[in-house]
Structure 1
Amino acid sequence: MATTPLGNFIRAKRDAVQPAALGLPERRRRRSPGLRRQDLADRADVSVEYLARIEQGRDRNPSPAVVGALADALRLDASERNHLRYLAKITGDACAVDVRPVPPSREVRGSVLRMLELLEPGAAFVTNRLGDVLAHTAGFRAVVGAAGLLDADRPNLNHYLFTDPRARAFFADWDDVADEQTFDLWQAPSLENLEWLTAELAPAAGEEFTRRLHLATVPRRGVLRLDHPEGHRLRLLRETLELPGDAQQLVVLMAEDAATAAVLAGSGSRLRSVS
């Protein structure tokens, strides 16, 4: 049986924990890093056989008590605990429900489009959990247009990030952004979307993407740093507003410092003229 997101995450976290951090003795001649399966099973008060079934995808419905015990044993922080519970839910749903892959909706409500107009000339866009850019302000195009993010007929942040060579030059912290975007894909609102990303996005995005997807690393989000092709280093804060019922988000980008604010305002640069 194929592994599951839940099993992959638990295994990845187990491999990442050093025994000494939990007061356990170091063991030599181990072929894999981190905790042994026996160590984690003992700390979570479950059998090694049961833990193996969860990690290998042979048991897809661990109880909330078991999930909580594993989180305690791995010393997960609040974000990681929430993610572990989410993975347990979608793993159980995948076992219980037969679904067909269906792309997420690309239609943006008229009231949301009017909201974008009110945000001009600021940089803002509407996206879904799969990274499709569904609508945006002219200010957003001014920030990302020259870097090629909007070149496709149906622009997608993840496809651009992992398949367009310009992305690595544009995102100053490409690895961090890649971790963030891949993690957010796990929050896709339905099993249909999960099937879509694994069937269509993963083959195009390659190993850099699939490795992150399987690890499901909870990112530490910070300032978004962009190296604009016009020669500007932009430092941006991001606020994401959920659009209930639409499975979409409104993302607003704001200057983090005075230099970026001056660039975005068009002071002493040609950034606003980027088409």
Structure 2
Amino acid sequence: MDRNELARCLRDWRDRLSPASIGLPASSLRRAPGLRREEVAHLAGLSVDYLARLEQGRAGNPSPSVLEALARALRLTDDENTHLFHLAGHADPRISGMNRHMTPGVHRIIDRLADTPVIVLDEAWQLVAANPPATALLGDMLGEPARQRNLLWRHFTGMPSRVVATPEEDAAFERAAVADLRAAAGRHPDDGPLQALITDLRKVSPRFDQRWQSAAVARHMATRKTILHPQVGPMTLDCDVLTAEGSDLRVVVYTAEPGSSDARTLALLNTIGTQTFTTPTSWAQPFTDDAAP
């Protein structure tokens, strides 16, 4: 680990980001054009003290999940992301496992969807990021442990959900989701988090294990879901899955038919939901396991 070079790069990458690039208002009170340390720490889900120690070359080896969160918050390119992992003494996870890096291009695309609920998943159905409308729609999972931010783990272990479905709809979703996960396992046989998820799900959920043994393989692309929101009531939305080229991430966009009652309910939620956010944020909040080493 090259602590001094890592510290220098983190400071330089933070200084080059303007407040406007992450949705913050410009202010004449800023001493420098870049982001404040507190803002990057918030975006990465880290403590300010830990980020300060990293930027001063005083912290121990940051974990891969911390590095992934920093790469997303700082909007690093692929080459910069590889360099970040190298400086921290880790192999680039894209070489042996799933590529979970969010490129600046993906950030910019989703910046344009500020009024639309959007989440980002990896191919293991792990929640990587969610914008404020998605948090208002689905609930805030920022404080959840890593495993509980996996959508399939939540479903097959019976965790609370705002999605409502008939038994037939549940069964159809499970068949499609497990087939999709099996296809991902075939593409990424050496991805540790993915293989651990499958092993643990087979242990705790007989229903998952039964579906896993069916050996179906498919790619999950789109569906419709009815979501019962505690404030605005039910709405049925289209969930379209877009592939982020150059990575193993999926962008899931929730929309309603224009002019429908569902569209009006979603618009109402966007109005009241965003008012609950008291801290300025960018288009999305990253999800990470670590607040400190």
Amino acid at match of 2:163: F
The alpha carbon displacement at 1:274 in A equals 6.2
Q: Which runs of 5+ in 1 are unaligned?
A: 1-101
Amino acid at match of 2:159: P
Distance change (3 Å), C-alpha of 1:149 and 1:201: farther
The alpha carbon displacement at 1:127 in A equals 0.9
The alpha carbon displacement at 1:226 in A equals 1.8
Answering whether residue 157 of structure 2 is matched by residue 170 of structure 1, we say: no
Residue equivalent to 1:233: 234
The alpha carbon displacement at 1:273 in A equals 5.0
Q: Which runs of 5+ in 2 are unaligned?
A: 1-95, 278-293
Rounded to whole Å, the distance in 2 between the matches of 1:122 and 1:242 is 17
Residue equivalent to 1:191: 189
Distance change (3 Å), C-alpha of 1:105 and 1:221: closer
Rounded to whole Å, the distance in 1 between the matches of 2:99 and 2:273 is 32
Contact 1:149–1:160 under 8 Å retained in 2 = no
Q: CA RMSD for the aligned pairs?
A: 3.0
Residue equivalent to 2:45: none
The alpha carbon displacement at 1:163 in A equals 1.8
> Alignment identity in percent?
21
- SS of 1:223's partner is strand
Answering whether residue 170 of structure 2 is matched by residue 156 of structure 1, we say: no
1:133-181 deviation digits (Å, cap 9, x = unpaired): 1112111111101xx65552431111111124323x6332433332232
Contact 1:243–1:249 under 8 Å retained in 2 = yes
- SS of 2:133's partner is helix
- SS of 1:238's partner is strand
1:107-149 deviation digits (Å, cap 9, x = unpaired): 322221222221112011111111011112111111101xx65
- SS of 2:177's partner is helix
Rounded to whole Å, the distance in 1 between the matches of 2:270 and 2:198 is 44
Contact 1:129–1:247 under 8 Å retained in 2 = yes
Distance change (3 Å), C-alpha of 1:143 and 1:131: same
Residue equivalent to 2:137: 143
Residue equivalent to 1:133: 127
Contact 1:242–1:248 under 8 Å retained in 2 = yes
Which of these two proteins has the greater Rg computed from alpha carbons? 1
- SS of 2:124's partner is coil
User: How many residues are paired up?
Assistant: 170
Rounded to whole Å, the distance in 2 between the matches of 1:124 and 1:182 is 22
Shifted more, 175-184 versus 118-127: the winner is 175-184
Residue equivalent to 2:106: 112
TM-score w.r.t. length of structure 1: 0.53
Distance change (3 Å), C-alpha of 1:247 and 1:106: closer
Rounded to whole Å, the distance in 1 between the matches of 2:247 and 2:223 is 26
Distance change (3 Å), C-alpha of 1:171 and 1:149: farther
Rounded to whole Å, the distance in 2 between the matches of 1:267 and 1:228 is 9
